[in-house]
Amino acid sequence: MHLQGPDRSSRRTDTSGSLVGWGRGLLAALLLASSGCSFIVDSDAQQCATDEDCVRFGSYPVCKEGLCVPSGLGPPGCFKGEVSTEEQYRNQCTTAQCIPFDNCARLGLCNGAALPPLVPKP
């Protein structure tokens, strides 16, 4: 940019110096911020050594190859351990699942049509 001063001499102003300063400041701030993330993120590749290390995740996960993985045990709040009472037996954890069964669809009797006629008395 050229400016004409009162003495009619041409002066050149350089704004690139201030941009370089801002760029360096921004770069320094980004480097500082990214180095701070390493203090927050756990860089240890092994999450657990035993099943007890995974308790904090809830739902009874197990430790496999250094990682906590879901065990599939349920329902939530079930009893996990050696059973010694009837209540513990009734509330014992399991991997069983409830699967809905549609008897109407299987038999074809609930489609809104009339029921088949009753068998007459002999």
Share of the chain above pLDDT 90, in %: 32
Q: Express each pLDDT in 47-104 by its tens digit.
A: 999 999 999 998 899 999 999 999 999 988 899 889 999 999 999 999 998 888 888 8
Q: Three-state SS for 1?
A: coil
- What burial letters (b/e) apply to 54-83, b meaning 16+ CB within 10 Å? beeeeebbebeeeebeebebeeeeeeeeee
Of 50, 54, 107, the residue nearest 115 (C-alpha): 107
Locate 102 and state its tokens: 């549609």
For the purposes of burial, counting CB atoms within 10 Å of the CB of 26, is it exposed (0-12), middle (13-18) or buried (19 or more)? exposed
The two three-digit tokens of residue 69, written as one number: 């993985």
Burial of 53 by CB count in 10 Å (0-12 exposed, 13-18 middle, 19+ buried)? middle
